[in-house]
Amino acid sequence: MRILISGAAGFLGSHLSDRLISEGHQIIGLDNFITGNRANIAHRMGDENFSFYRHDVSNYIFVPGNVDAVLHFASPASPNPKSPSGYFNLPIQTMKAGALGTHNTLGVAKTNNARYLLASTSEIYGDPEIHPQSESYPGNVDPAGPRAVYDEAKRFAEALTLAYHRHHNVDTRIVRIFNTYGPRMDLEDGRALPNLLKQALLGQPLTVYGDGQQTRSFCYVDDLVDGIVRLLYSDEHMPVNIGNPVEMTILQFAETINRVTGNQAGVTFMAGERSARDPQRRRPDITRAQTILKWEPKVDFEEGLRRTIPYFKEKLGLA
């Protein structure tokens, strides 16, 4: 297939490009580099199966020639309020990527009679009141809250995608992505893994907020990409959770990182309530992915960490 990927220079977009090229497809990558990294696709430049255009998806998209599939992955995603590429500092761009970007990429799919896949997020569940979160759960969200620019952009994007499917018969798919880690992720992302792994590699005590009993589930990037590709090849139109259902507390998470890295500095607890940006529990119900896609993650957390550490060491100048 000839596949358009928006956000192709991002963490997930670049890994998806690699996977799909390895399966014989041609990739047309779009990115405006607000959050994407040129280094993520540098190895693809000059590849006859990869073409790239610097473009903002909130503007009209013209692609010469036929397109068989469109994957919309362009959006700021970092919750780090200190990061210039995080959605707290790019609120309008984030909303436009979810609204105008989804509209424009759906337009490409409609014009080409192409299959379409939207990258949505577990954040659409907000701070969930049920556990684990299944696709039928509508969420516990605050449209005026501090995370709203990202959460509501994705919720709108899902609604628009299904409207195109139902009204225009566009062949759509929606993946709800849970916490993912691996090489090429942004070290300043602001989420638990890059924060704590960076501290561990620098020999610093790991900062854990509150009592460390808030939970997360971490999926290695290769597993996530495999689930997304299976969804792309499927005939499923309703949202599907892709993530690792193995749940751990942040304290367990920190202790595992210290053990794998050999960091002897331990853990430092920071007093105070958890941030309003920080859901207390997050774990996917992947029953639909297991049933429909015959997918489940294969890489356990410690193995995923070992695969990720060399990239972090390189970026930190420790390699």
CA gap 109, 116 in Å, rounded: 6
CA gap 106, 110 in Å, rounded: 6
SS3 240: strand
Known catalytic residue: 150? Answer: yes
Q: Who's near 269: CB < 8 A, 6+ residues apart?
A: 208, 209, 210, 211, 212
CA gap 9, 17 in Å, rounded: 9
User: E strand or H helix at 117, and its extent?
Assistant: strand 115-121
Tokens 């689930």 found at: 227
Q: Who's near 187: CB < 8 A, 6+ residues apart?
A: 194, 198, 312, 315, 316
- Which residues are bridge partners to 283 per DSSP? none
CA gap 29, 51 in Å, rounded: 6
* List 87, 150, 164, 181, catalytic entry: 150
Cα-only R_g, the chain:
19
Q: Which residues are catalytic?
A: 150
